[in-house]
Amino acid sequence: MSAAKIIPKNGGRVFVRRKILPLQEKNMRKGLQAPVPKKIPEKLIKFDDLRVDYYYWMRERERPEVRKHLEAENEYFARVTRDVESFRNTLFEELKARLKDEDESVPYRYKDYYYQVRYPKGKEFPVFLRWKTENQKETFFDANIRGAKKDFYQLGALKITPDDTTLAFTEDMQGRRLYEIRFKDLKTGKVYDEVIKNTTGTGVWAQDSRTFFYVVKHPETLRAYRLYKHTLGTAPENDVLIYEETDPEYDIHISKSKSEQFIFLVISANTTTEYRYIFSDRPDMTFRLLKKRIKGVEYYPYHLREDEFLMVTNENAPNYKILKGRLNAKEKEWEVFLPHREETLIEELEIFRDFIALTERNNGLTRLRILSLDKKEDFYIDFPEETYTVYLDINAEINSRKVRYVYNSLTTPASVLEYDVDAKKKEILKEDVVAGGKFDKENYRSLRLWAPGRDGTRIPVSLVWHKKLRLYDNNPLLLYAYGAYGITVDDNFSHNRLSLLDRGFVFAIAHVRGGEYLGRKWYEEGKLLKKKNTFYDFIDAARYLIAENITSPEKLYAMGGSAGGLLMGAVANMAPQLFKGIVAQVPFVDVLTTMLDENIPLTTGEYDEWGNPNEKKYYDYIKSYSPYDNIVAQAYPNILATAGFHDSQVQYWEPAKWVAKLREYNRGDSLILLHTEMNAGHSGVSGRFKSLKDTARDFAFILDLAGKMYEI
């Protein structure tokens, strides 16, 4: 790889350009051939509509040809990108170097102990400590010991008994999000013999410090459907079944009030909740219904004191309101504590003894509000930047008069702060550090634009770039979005993103409908029979960035994962000419076939999001955008799709089938690649440092296509 000449450009900007051919050109010169899987027609008929899926056979996980094909795809990926391997490794080391080799969280107090998480030097996993005094620090759990020499390791939850003597810890050893629960004596360090399998990865202790409630997943659908009660020191096969949810659209989980006086059984779908409760000092009590489920109504109870509660609900209040009332009071006896507002969405709420802290979203930005329970005090904490993100941190002590929160922006690393409600002062407890000594936040700029949508909607787009770039000067740009489940992609800082910004890229987030960036209505306008708005918003944002000469089709790249991968698949079909390359991470691209199969994990619980295709109106609408079903003979952009063989959220065969069919129909000379992590699930490989290899892989694909392996 020859070093390069210096090319003055764009009013004096100096780039160091290396002479590297784009991936597809190298591929053509080498004559490498992509794997060609066999085609076996599978007829899929619904509502007299026939679809023929020639790659349906890839769903048979245990079939030898399946693993052989995925390994052939990985080998093809490795061969095609071999010339980029050195750069990919360099990029990985660059990403890794920005993380502090040793790091630790801000300690927080909970009852008699202080707690802290540490990352030891060179270790992949965290270590958990607690102490009553500084000279009595003890490591009560070391995930590095548990995760040593495992292909995959994911720690779930740590739950300590009320008497501080026993730890329940949960672990996933495969990546399928099926967690095992084990118990550890914190006095002796001994791990009990009993192991509880196939759980959701969390649970709660009753106040007797002997009874542990947990939820088990269905063996096929992985739906969280059964609540069990375990007694410490006994065999799990003797555990008592407390509740089973039979409606396949609902999952269950278990939680505990901050006051520790109540244990809640939560039954929920995407847009509906139901709570049942027992008193935590009465583990043999039968769970009582708090408020019956109503389709489309969500409510979330917060215990204040005695039988007094606050309740956040969207009943007749799309952006949520807060009610106040007593446990067994009739609904009409609950009073409005904080009314619904058309322009403001309630997001998080934290209970303290005499006040609440809540985050609200207004015009896309989060605000932190302090409101006393007697309503005599009500104010917002100020933040300095035009676009930023703030969220509540760990606030374990209900009697505290200080609120802990995290602040960051596209250009500012995260800081943990504490606000003194009485003194009206904030204190920075920790500022995140970009290791290596090269980062200076003053080198970066951010901006929020509003792109015109085809239906008159204004689509917010957040951008960040290096100050040496001239924004309106046809730059390489990576456009990112998610757009589902009401999840908002906030304007967070990213250590990893610096590797793009420092190479001349603009990074943009399209806050498309389907998220809640502009409130609950923004979500409702991007789901079910309005799902295409998500795709249209992304395409219209891309066209606006091109029209403003911020980028161009030859320099525009797109990225999204999971439901955001569905977005990538849809725009690849609908507007392939706008993008030079697309990275689709674990993409949900076979929407119609998956949503018709009730035996696949997550299907029935997703009807509120995508619609139930057993109803013809939803069948027709999903079919009209499902990426796999809408591949046509046209020139597609360069595409990298990723998968996890043990993925429980998006099964590996979706991206595998999609890539095979894309290659078959592609009429251009673009590269279409698949890389599958054979020992991982939805989130990729595990480990603090090892997981960066996935990022390096995705960034290297984009950077090589752009010919941008240089520094500003």
Give catalytic residue positions.
562, 647, 682
Closest CA to 674 of 649, 653, 692, 702: 653
Distances (CA, A) of 521 to 312, 348, 510, 516: 17, 18, 17, 8
Closest CA to 213 of 195, 191, 232, 194: 232
Give the other-Cβ count within 10 Å of 456's Cβ. 6
Both tokens of 125, joined, read 């996993």
User: Please, how many CA atoms are within 13 Å of residue 557, restricted to the half-sphere of its CB?
Assistant: 28
Question: What DSSP string describes 644-692?
Answer: ETT-SSS-THHHHHHHHHHHHHB-S---EEEEEETT-BTTBS-STTTTH
Half-sphere exposure of 164 (CA within 13 A, CB side): 10
- Report the C-alpha dihedral over residues 378, 382, 383, 385, rounded to 10 degrees: 120
Q: Cα(430)–Cα(652) distance, rounded to whole angstroms? A: 40
Q: CA Rg, the chain, in Å?
A: 26
Q: 622 in helix, strand or coil? A: helix
Residue 104 CA to residue 109 CA, distance in Å, equals 15
Cα dihedral 153/436/409/360 (nearest 10): 40
Residue 10: exposed, middle, or buried by beta-carbon count in 10 A (0-12, 13-18, 19+)?
Answer: middle
Q: How far from chain centre, in Å, is Cα 284?
A: 36
Inter-CA distances, 104 with 99, 100, 120, 124, 233, Å: 12, 10, 9, 13, 33
CA dist 285 → 262, 275, 281, 292 (Å) = 11, 15, 9, 19
Number of C-alpha atoms within 13 angstroms, CB side, residue 619? Answer: 14
Would you report the helix, strand and coil content of the chain in percent, each value rounded to 5? 20, 35, 40
